[in-house]
Amino acid sequence: MNDASAPQTTTRLGADQLLDDLYDGGARICFANPGTTELGLVSSLARDGRIRCVLSLFEGVCTGAADGYARVSGKVPLTLLHLGPGFANGIANLHNARRAGSRIINLIGDHATWHLEYDAPLTSDIRSLADPVSREVIYLGQTDGITSGVSAAYAATNQDEGGAATIIFPTDVVDAPAAPNGEGVKEQPHQLRPVADAALDVAAAKLRDAANVIVLIGGNALSEEGVRAGGALADALGGRLLMEPYPAIVTLGGDLPVVERQAYFPDDVIAQMGDALVVLAGARMPISYFGYEGWPSQLVPEERLVRLAEPADDAVSALSALAGRFPGAEGSASAASAQPVASPEAGASLSAASVVEELLVQLPQDAIISLEGSSMGGPWLKQAHRAKKHRVITNTGGAIGQGLPCAVGAAIAAPEARVVSLQSDGSAQYTLQSLWTMAREGLKVTVIIAANHRYAILQTELTRADIPLDDPIVSQLTDLDHPRVDWVSLARGYGVEARLARTNGELAEALREGLSLDGPLLIQAELP
Amino acid sequence: MNDASAPQTTTRLGADQLLDDLYDGGARICFANPGTTELGLVSSLARDGRIRCVLSLFEGVCTGAADGYARVSGKVPLTLLHLGPGFANGIANLHNARRAGSRIINLIGDHATWHLEYDAPLTSDIRSLADPVSREVIYLGQTDGITSGVSAAYAATNQDEGGAATIIFPTDVVDAPAAPNGEGVKEQPHQLRPVADAALDVAAAKLRDAANVIVLIGGNALSEEGVRAGGALADALGGRLLMEPYPAIVTLGGDLPVVERQAYFPDDVIAQMGDALVVLAGARMPISYFGYEGWPSQLVPEERLVRLAEPADDAVSALSALAGRFPGAEGSASAASAQPVASPEAGASLSAASVVEELLVQLPQDAIISLEGSSMGGPWLKQAHRAKKHRVITNTGGAIGQGLPCAVGAAIAAPEARVVSLQSDGSAQYTLQSLWTMAREGLKVTVIIAANHRYAILQTELTRADIPLDDPIVSQLTDLDHPRVDWVSLARGYGVEARLARTNGELAEALREGLSLDGPLLIQAELP
């Protein structure tokens, strides 16, 4: 029977082994929403004390925060989630993390191995749930397999462009005694594949006499170095520099070259690409986001693609090497034209454009913007080159509810940086519990909710398909104005101070306040 | 290319066929959070107009509401969810629905069949995600397979004790023309399996000379008729009437027999069961909720189980028939002892017990209580027999975040009833967006948040395992008081009026107000 009187600290347990191995592999933070089957690991986390634990009120916040942390730091965070249903709540943001190539290790406590056959209420097929968002799902069936399991998990996150691995640990395995095994797990930095000279030769030959070139960057070419290298190549070829439509994290602004974003709708992308040769530098080939009848999925025909570097390749080196083959490329990258920025008229009502203008004025150097939703996404990325140098995180996988938790993770990964969460109101709802973690951890996040009180992207799609927005059922399913959500009240409910801004002047003042606080502030920006 | 000028209403499309078939099968309501791939069906829902659409801000609200609706009405609701990630957000409450045997049809829009190979950002393995919570996953690969697919979905919900079926419809299949096929789908009421006379003989023989009997009800024996039949049998055998620990929906109070609830921890269940013969009447055999070292999973040995009716069997008829074999059983069911109820002292601070006492006083006849969390769950179910006749919905699968959405679904299924959501604060966070739908639909739901600002169940488990709650990391992962969530503010953010109650008098007043409103009210009940 339960021996509750046995001291917990005398015996080294499987949970201690698991933590040692995870720590040795590089993990320093755990975004957690534990339940009963995770308490053995919680107890070990407490004894160990080396891994920072961040609690969230909902699992989607944990996984989104882990994604944001991974994108900003390049390190491997942990998530700790409760059985199949708890993990399921984190799947949407793990889907985005998969598309971003974020290295994450998910930890899921499971029933004791001997209890599974009884099909207790919380039993479910965890593997089936985890597979679609995991490079590998590892079931720790015995205590002496913990170290090799953790090694395999880290190795899985290094496959191709990276991704999450999921470890399922039954309670009896982590509660069993575990002698130190002397094996240990080694930290394995993520290695990008070098691009072979032969591939450079092929690309150079194709581009030699090209009249119209687009350099489309993705992967590691979204870094500051990559943007400069991409700009240099585009300059050398007399072409344009574009980025994939949903970068995991991209550096923009300051003296960096202007980067045009790939458009969204297929007709717009086709027009944007024209008859250019498109150099894929860490980016996937342009495809349509959804399949629309009468439009192709692949938006640039194969013969116009120059496949320089895959997302798992070292696109930065490839870009630099390729630019070196074109005389005059070195250092010729066009800096952004220094267009002046100025606050929009204080008394006027807010618009997406005026929010952007004010943020251009106030955004501090080296800030990080977590960007989600169509209302501000397009407008910001069109103007980002006019801001001070900053990084932008976008929604890579289209699973909405990414922006707020990614801001949490980014702020923890880069405590010196100011984080701005530029966030549509519809998508903010899926993980609004992020606000509580922002308050709890005192994170320097300024949240701007683009409050238009509707699913604007759906209304755009419906209008394109000639479906009337004023039909009662269409309106019932796309309008969010009845009742109108009061984000100021929601934020305060979570301990985050908040301001309502209807005019440019109100926004400017609230933004100044937010950007100077040593903690979070939410601004509800009322948009038409 | 897109022919946006073609009128949408002239051609009958696959989406219209899909809706016709769903309607013919019995669906009358759709809990929706659609995205782009569902807009063809949204358009058809608008043209059709026969199916009520209820929007939620998060998918877990849709699936939980569908579950609550199914439990209260016995009918088959629809959910409409966006691709894999949107569906994933609804999995937790579908897990609970699976345990409750709730019949639901999930509709998921997918990319066009010809677009899938391009692995667009939102592409994922939907089937792998849906399988664990679906009796069957049906992919509508072609327009002329829609009717047979819908028939198969309804049939799947009728397997065994019921459950959800999931239909994945690619956009090109529902956007294609579909001539009426003259087949149609027939409504198929859920048939429980009759219990054979031979099984009754076996049970009767086992019980003939038993000194100590427990009748453990579940399945359809949780209905008013079943509770009476179970009570009659227990009386006839001189035994006790118990119910499974997490009933899908049970009728209690009024003149019904007192029903004792099966305990939670294995030691408590073993003590509760003693050496009784346990008659399983629609209930699963008692097992431990989690596996605890030193305690068995199965809490009543096989030789003391009398397997009268499985969850998929007609337990009510079996109970009545069996009771008929014991003389004197007819009509002898002991009515609840009419213990008086009275409001607790107005000036005193709230406790779980005093919230229960006040609710015993005020709960109107035929109310429905959606009960989630350990803080109020145990206390209410111990006293429920003293209230007027009412129904209680509980968390069948342990995936938290069920209570608020189930209250939404219950209120829509039974608009004449008063719904009380008796809800722990921790679990309320997972689907708090339910409040918006309550306001939008004007639902008569009174939400009582048991606000103790901690994960009390985890702290109970930790204490049992001798792990100190004041350890900084343990506290970081189980305490919710920093910052303290202001539920009044959260509710108002969603357009739901709210009251804070610290004393019994404040609760009594707020409850009177809530129970008389023609819409929702939230009461934050501050508990120790």
Q: The domain that contains A251 carries what CATH number?
A: 3.40.50.1220
Nearest to B297 among A118, A175, A471 (CB): A118
A62 CB contacts (<8 Å, ≥6 apart)?
A31, A32, A33, A54, A56, A79, A80, A81, A90, A405
How far apart, in whole angstroms, are the C-alpha atoms of residue B200 and residue B215? 14
* Percent with pLDDT over 90 in chain B: 93
pLDDT band at A183 (very low <50, low <70, confident <90, very high): confident
A46 to chain B, any CB pair closer than 8 A? The answer is yes
pLDDT of residue A335: 56
Angle at A166 between CA A164 and CA A171, to 5 degrees: 155
- What are A204-244's pLDDT values in tens digits? 999 998 999 999 999 999 999 999 999 999 999 999 999 99
pLDDT band at A4 (very low <50, low <70, confident <90, very high): very low
User: Is residue A346 assigned to a domain?
Assistant: no
* Percent with pLDDT over 70 in chain B: 96
Q: Which of A123-137, A299-313, A452-466, B291-305 has the lowest mean pLDDT?
A: A452-466
Strand partners, A481: A484
Which chain B residues are Cβ-neighbours of A129 within 8 angstroms? 88, 91, 128-129, 132
Are A171 and A211 part of one and the same domain? no
B49 to chain A, any CB pair closer than 8 A? The answer is yes
Q: CB–CB of B124 and A118 under 8 A?
A: no
User: Is residue B131 assigned to a domain?
Assistant: yes
Tokens of A281: 């530098």
Nearest to A440 among B298, B426, B482 (CB): B482
Which residues numbered 293-312 in B keep a CB inside 8 Å of some CB on A? 293-295, 297-298
Q: CB–CB of B440 and A175 under 8 A?
A: no
How far apart, in whole angstroms, are the C-alpha atoms of residue B111 and residue B39? 12
Instruction: Search chain A and give the residue with CA nearest B80.
Output: A477
- What are B139-194's pLDDT values in tens digits? 999 999 999 999 999 999 999 999 999 999 999 999 999 998 888 899 989 999 99
Inter-chain CB pairs, A–B, below 8 Å:
321
Q: CB–CB of B493 and A485 under 8 A?
A: yes
Which residues numbered 239-258 in A keep a CB inside 8 Å of some CB on B? 246
Are B136 and B285 part of one and the same domain? no
Instruction: Search chain B and give the residue with CA nearest A470.
Output: B46
pLDDT of residue A525: 98
Nearest to A129 among B35, B58, B91 (CB): B91
Which chain A residues are Cβ-neighbours of B489 within 8 angstroms? 489-490, 492-493
Per the structure, the complete domain to which residue A216 belongs is given by 197-324
User: Is residue A343 assigned to a domain?
Assistant: no
- What are A501-528's pLDDT values in tens digits? 999 999 999 999 999 999 999 999 999 9
Nearest to A246 among B85, B121, B489 (CB): B121
B333 vs B291, residue with greater confidence: B291
Question: Tokens 């679990």 map to which residue?
Answer: B427
Q: Over 90: is that where the pLDDT of A184 sits?
A: no
Which residues numbered 443-462 in A keep a CB inside 8 Å of some CB on B? 457-458, 461-462
- What are B472-519's pLDDT values in tens digits? 999 999 999 999 999 999 999 999 999 999 999 999 999 999 999 999
Q: CB–CB of B464 and A2 under 8 A?
A: yes
Are B460 and B398 part of one and the same domain? yes
Q: CB–CB of B8 and A465 under 8 A?
A: yes
* Percent with pLDDT over 70 in chain A: 96
How far apart, in whole angstroms, are the C-alpha atoms of residue A27 and residue A96? 20
Which residues numbered 80-99 in B keep a CB inside 8 Å of some CB on A? 83-86, 88-89, 91-92, 95-96, 99
- B491 vs A25, A254, B428, B432, B480, CA distance in Å? 43, 43, 12, 9, 18
- The 8-class DSSP code of residue B489 comes to H
Average pLDDT, chain A: 95
Are B500 and B367 part of one and the same domain? yes
B360 CB contacts (<8 Å, ≥6 apart)?
B341, B383, B386, B387
Q: How many Cα atoms occupy the beta-carbon half-sphere of B200 within 13 Å?
A: 19
Q: CB–CB of A467 and B131 under 8 A?
A: no
Are B37 and B166 part of one and the same domain? yes
pLDDT band at B336 (very low <50, low <70, confident <90, very high): low
Least Cα separation, residue A8 to chain B (angstroms)? 7
Q: Over 90: is that where the pLDDT of B9 sits?
A: no
CATH value at residue B496: 3.40.50.970
User: Is residue B332 assigned to a domain?
Assistant: no
Q: CB–CB of A458 and B36 under 8 A?
A: yes
pLDDT of residue A328: 66
Are B155 and B253 part of one and the same domain? no
Q: How many domains does chain A have?
A: 3
Are B202 and B171 part of one and the same domain? no
Q: CB–CB of A121 and B289 under 8 A?
A: yes
pLDDT of residue B6: 45
Backbone phi and psi for residue B26, each to the nearest 5 degrees, phi listed first: 125, -10
- What are A425-439's pLDDT values in tens digits? 999 999 999 999 999
How far apart, in whole angstroms, are the C-alpha atoms of residue B252 and residue A127? 39
User: Is residue A217 assigned to a domain?
Assistant: yes
Q: Over 50: is that where the pLDDT of A88 sits?
A: yes
Angle at B248 between CA B247 and CA B250, to 5 degrees: 65
User: Is residue B1 assigned to a domain?
Assistant: no
Q: Over 70: is that where the pLDDT of B8 sits?
A: no
pLDDT of residue B76: 98
pLDDT of residue A182: 84
Nearest to B39 among A5, A7, A465 (CB): A465
Are A366 and A273 part of one and the same domain? no
Least Cα separation, residue A258 to chain B (angstroms)? 25
Nearest to A111 among B55, B290, B483 (CB): B290
pLDDT band at A71 (very low <50, low <70, confident <90, very high): very high
Q: Over 90: is that where the pLDDT of B358 sits?
A: yes
Which chain B residues are Cβ-neighbours of A488 within 8 angstroms? 493
Are B315 and B380 part of one and the same domain? no
Which chain B residues are Cβ-neighbours of A175 within 8 angstroms? 293
Instruction: Search chain A and give the residue with CA nearest B133.
Output: A124
Which residues numbered 382-421 in B keep a CB inside 8 Å of some CB on A? 396-401
pLDDT of residue B329: 52
Q: CB–CB of B36 and A290 under 8 A?
A: yes
Which chain B residues are Cβ-neighbours of A4 within 8 angstroms? 464-466
> Which 3 state secondary structure label does DSSP give B430?
helix
Nearest to A122 among B88, B91, B398 (CB): B398
How far apart, in whole angstroms, are the C-alpha atoms of residue B316 and residue B355? 33
Q: CB–CB of A88 and B111 under 8 A?
A: no
How far apart, in whole angstroms, are the C-alpha atoms of residue B106 and residue B59? 11
- What are B93-144's pLDDT values in tens digits? 999 999 999 999 999 999 999 999 999 999 999 999 999 999 999 999 999 9
pLDDT of residue A332: 47
Q: CB–CB of A7 and B466 under 8 A?
A: yes
pLDDT of residue B4: 44
How far apart, in whole angstroms, are the C-alpha atoms of residue A229 and residue A320? 5
pLDDT band at B5 (very low <50, low <70, confident <90, very high): very low
In residues, how long is chain A?
A: 528
Chain A interface, best mutation among B95, B246, B435, by max A CB count within 10 A: B95
Which chain A residues are Cβ-neighbours of B171 within 8 angstroms? 290-291
Are B65 and B138 part of one and the same domain? yes
SS3 for B161-215, per residue?
Answer: CCCEEEEEEEHHHHHCECCCCCCCCCCCCCCCECCCHHHHHHHHHHHCCCCCEEE
The overall pTM is greater than 0.95: yes
Tokens of A376: 């501000």
User: Is residue A334 assigned to a domain?
Assistant: no
User: Is residue B96 assigned to a domain?
Assistant: yes
- What are B427-475's pLDDT values in tens digits? 999 999 999 999 999 999 999 999 999 999 999 999 998 999 999 999 9
pLDDT of residue A340: 78
Q: What's CA A523's distance to the chain center, in Å?
A: 22
Are A372 and A492 part of one and the same domain? yes
pLDDT band at B422 (very low <50, low <70, confident <90, very high): very high
Q: Over 80: is that where the pLDDT of B272 sits?
A: yes
Are A253 and A310 part of one and the same domain? yes
B112 to chain A, any CB pair closer than 8 A? The answer is yes
Q: CB–CB of B490 and A493 under 8 A?
A: yes
